[in-house]
Structures are given as structure tokens and as C-alpha cells.
Amino acid sequence: MTTKTMTKDKISVAAVRRLSKRYNEPEWLRFARLMAWETFESLPWPTYKEETWRRTRLTGFKLEDYRLPAVDAALLPSRGALPEHLQQELAQIDSAGVLILQDGALIYRELDAALAQKGVIFTDLRGALAENVELVQVHLSALVRARENKFAALHYALWQNGAFLYVPRNVAIEKPLQVLIVQGEGLAGFHHSLLVGEENSEAVVVEDFVGSRQGMSDSVAEVFVHQSARMHYLRLQNLDKTAWNFATQRASVGRNALYRQLQASWGGKLSKVWIDLEMDEPGGHGELLGLYFPRDRQHLDHHTNQNHKEPRCTSDLLFKGALEDHARSVYQGMIHVMHGAQRTDAYQKNDNLILSDHARADSIPGLEIEADDVRCTHGATSAKVPEEYIFYLMARGLSRQTAKRMIVQGFFEEVINRVPVPGVRAKLETEIAHRVGIE
């Protein structure tokens, strides 16, 4: 693939204006961007005095180190035109549709024709803006607001593109939809995921973030799961280990709907991810699964909220992490059961497996309950690999290394088991095996 030379752009209000002008955006959007920029400027940089930033410092992060991509790469006509490694990446999952975004430009798209016929829209956010502006306007920034945090504000000022999915009423997409986000060296990426499942629809979305060497990623995801819909959203953060990663994600779960999200965090020098589950209507079920395995000096921080506003909802959270070398992880979670959310059943668990004397996992689970007829359970564990496990396996002829690998893989199995896409399970298992080390 030939990439045109890019005139790179500094992050500033002028860049916001140029971006909006370049894409000939409607007035409301240009205005929203400028408002977001103002919000960004008005919010202070986070300090440890804020609870969510107490254990994660931005030391060394300088926004001026990153540039915006200036020229869009071209759309490619077929899989065969893609670079080899992207073709391989796509081949791992048997999907009904594909989007590949490179530095904000849509470079490849596929969608099963039968689904398009049924009214499924699966395209980049810019494409959706051109063809289905009302749908975008209704949903964009309806769940995650610019003022939410400094990084969300920056995102709304500068988002370049994203993934847009709209599944009409009663349409079930059986195979997963795949989104690949490729970010270039030294660049700032602002990917926006907007997923809408209408009543009684069904979809599985797999989103994979790669690249961003010496770069930064500041993404937002908004997921709407309407009444009786079933949505699975699997996010694989596979960025370079030199990247800074910030992500704000929120899903709204409708009446009797089912939502399941996986966050797998592999990459990033530092990663701060907020994941909120909004149980907005009665009878919904939400699951948040998390998996992280930092090594070297990686610092991975996940902050979750399970917000129960209406009665008879269930939510279930399981985050598991293993840590090598000098790595650090922070898990902070809260179950809020609001007044009136009777018969809520909420669960939250974070387990950590410490593989090195220098690694550290902080875990801060929490509950806030304002209703009286609820069942809420939470817990956190942090442990080293028990020597008794190692001895038992070695006594059966396994080497120490194989024994350790099996135990770590077994530790993550509880999460991987619940991932509905075989290709994703295989990718997760391979990544874990590589991290523990194959002899």
C-alpha cells in the first residue's frame, strides 16, 4: 500500500477547525467540536487528588508530542490489496462484516449483502454521517459527554472517524462484525465506536486496536442495546507498549436486553479505561469481562461502574489480570444501586495473579446501595502462583515453565470461556501463552 506523505498537524483549536472544514462537516458538528475543545481547555489536567487518578499518574505525558494525521489513505478494493499482516488478522475470525480504519481513514470495508438488504448499517462514522446523519446525530455523544473527563472532551474535539453499527428491529447477525483500528507512529488517534442494537436485534462486534508506537489513543465507545436486544462487544486493546491509551466506554442496556462486553488489555505504556454499564430499564442483564496481562513497566488501569437505576436488572463483572516484571495494574469498580432499583442482582469480582516480586496489583471494589431489596456481591483477590500447584504438575513430569503456563492459562479460562467468538478465544489464548513464555 502506498501512503501519501502527510502534513502533520499539531493539536490545537486551529486543528479542530481545520479538521471540521476538511470534512465539510455540518454546522452542529463543528459547533460541538469547538464546545468540546473549550471544555477540554477548561478542565484541569488530572491529579492524584481525584479518586480515579489516585493510583495512575500522567507523568511524562505531553499532548504536544503527538500529531494529527493530515491526509487520508485510500479505500482498498479487496482483501487481496491489504497488507499481508492485516489479511492474516482478518482470517482469524469468520465474520459477516469488516471495517479497517487507518489513522481515521476507512481503508477497507465488507458487509454481507443479505445484512445490508435487511437494513443493517455497518460503516465508518464518516460514512454514516454522510448517509445517515439523523441516526448519528441522535446517538453521538448521547451516552458519553465531552465534560465527562478531560480525555472525553479532547476526543469530542478531535475524533477523526470511528465504527458505526445500526442493527434494525428483529435482525439477528449471527457472525461477528470485525473492526480493525490501525494507528501510526507518533500520532494521536481518536476512534469513536457507536453501536446501536434496536429492539430484539442481535450482534457481536470485535474491535481490535493495534499500532500507535510512540503515539496516543483517546477513544470513546457508546453502545445502545434496546429492548430485548442482545449485543456482545469485544474490545481487544493490542496497542504498542510505548503508546498512551485513554478510553471512555458506556453502554445503555434496555428492558430485558442482554449486553456483554470484554475488555482485553495487552498494550500501552499507560492505559486508563473507564467502562460504565447503565442498567437503564427494568429486567436487563449486563456483563463486563476484563482481562489484562501487563509486563515490563506497563501500567494498566480499569475503572468500572455498574449503575442500576431500574428494578430487576442483573449485572455481572469479572476482571482477571496477571502481572509480570515491574508491571502495575489498578482495578477500581463500583456497583451503584439507586433508589427504586429493587431486586437488583449485581456481582463484581477482580482477581489478580502476581508473577513477579516487583509487580503490583491494586484492587478497589465498591458498593453503594440505596435500595433495600437487592443482592450484591463483590470481591477481589491477589495471589502468587501457589508453589503447591507447581509441585503437583511437576511431579507429573511437566517442566516448571509449562506448569506455570498451564496455571496462568487456567486462571484466565474463566473469562475466556465466556467469550462467544472462537477466533477471539484463540487469539486471547495465544497472547497469554506468548506472555507466559513458550519453551
Partner 1 sequence: MTATLEVKDLHASVEGKEILKGVNLTIRQGEVHALMGPNGSGKSTLGYVIAGHPHYEVTGGDILFNGESILDLAPDERAKLGIFLAFQYPVAIPGVSFANFLRAAVSSVRGYKDRAKEEMARTGQLREVGSELMPMREFRQELFEKMDRYNVDRAFARRYLNDGFSGGEKKRGEVLQMAMLEPKIAILDESDSGLDIDALRVVSDGINKLVAGGMGALLITHYQRILDYVKPEKVSVFYDGRVVLTGGPEVAEMLEEKGYGWIENHLAELAASPAQQ
Nearer to partner 1, 221 or 407 (CB): 407
What is the C-alpha to C-alpha distance for residues 40 and 155, in angstroms, rounded to an integer?
A: 9
Q: How far is Cα 261 from Cα 255, in angstroms, rounded to an integer?
A: 17
DSSP SS3 for 428? helix
List 52, 214, 242, 409, residue binding partner 1 (CB under 8 A): 409
Rounded-to-integer distance, Cα 46 and Cα 54, Å: 9
Window contacting partner 1 (CB under 8 A); options: 144-152, 248-256, 284-292, 411-419: 411-419
Nearer to partner 1, 247 or 403 (CB): 403
Q: Is 291 in the site for partner 1 (CB under 8 A)?
A: no
Residues 379-408 that bind partner 1 (CB under 8 A): 386-389, 391-400, 402-403, 406-407
Say whether residue 44 binds partner 1 (CB under 8 A): no
Distance of closest approach, residue 134 Cβ to partner 1, in angstroms: 47
In the complex with partner 1, the residue whose CB is nearer, 48 or 392, is 392
402, 403, 408, 411 alpha-carbon torsion, rounded to 10°: 140
Looking at residue 177, its amino acid is: L
Query: Residue 72 or 351: which CB sits closer to partner 1?
Result: 351
Shortest approach of partner 1 to residue 160 CB, angstroms?
Answer: 38
* Listed residue (329, 67, 23, 72) closest to 189, CA to CA: 67
Q: Does 412 bind partner 1 (CB under 8 A)?
A: yes
> Which residues have CB under 8 Å from 260's CB, separation 6+?
231, 232, 233, 286, 287, 289, 418, 420
If binding is defined by CB under 8 A, does position 313 make contact with partner 1?
no
256 binds partner 1 (CB under 8 A): no
Using rule CB under 8 A, residue 353 touches partner 1 = no
Give 232's strand partners.
204, 260
Residue 357 contacts partner 1 per CB under 8 A: no
CB-wise, 119 or 437, nearer to partner 1? 437
Residue 352 CB, nearest approach to partner 1 (Å): 15
Query: Does residue 113 belong to the site contacting partner 1 (CB under 8 A)?
Result: no
- Cα dihedral angle (348, 409, 235, 224), rounded to 10 degrees? -40
Q: Which of 188, 411, 424, 432 binds partner 1 (CB under 8 A)?
A: 411
Cα–Cα distance for residue pair 432/321, rounded to 1 Å: 11
Measure CA 22 to chain center. 28
Contact present, 369 and 341 (Cβ < 8 Å): no
Toward partner 1, which CB reaches closer, 24 or 417?
417
Return the residue matching grid coordinates 491494586. Answer: 362
- Any contact of residue 60 with partner 1 (CB under 8 A)? no
Q: Which is nearer to partner 1, 171 or 407 (CB)?
A: 407
Give min distance, CB of 331 to partner 1, in A: 19
- The distance of closest approach from Cβ of residue 284 to partner 1 in the complex, given in angstroms and rounded to an integer, is 29
Contact between 88 and partner 1 per CB under 8 A: no
Q: Which residues contact 299 (CB under 8 A, 6 or more apart)?
A: 56, 268, 269, 270, 271, 327, 328, 329, 330
Quote the least distance from Cβ 404 to partner 1, whole Å: 12
CB 101 within 8 A of CB 81: no
Decide whether 303 or 405 has the Cβ nearer to partner 1.
Answer: 405
> What burial class does residue 115 get, using C-beta atoms within 10 Å of its C-beta: 0-12 exposed, 13-18 middle, 19+ buried?
buried
Choice between 13 and 398, CB closer to partner 1: 398
Neighbouring CB atoms inside 10 A of 436's CB total 20
Instruction: Tell me the C-alpha distance between 27 and 82, whole Å.
Output: 35
Q: Determine, following the binding rule CB under 8 A, whether residue 356 of this chain makes contact with partner 1.
A: no
Q: Which is nearer to partner 1, 336 or 405 (CB)?
A: 405
CB of 413 to partner 1, least distance (A): 3
410 binds partner 1 (CB under 8 A): yes
Contact positions vs partner 1 (CB under 8 A):
386-389, 391-400, 402-403, 406-407, 409-414, 439
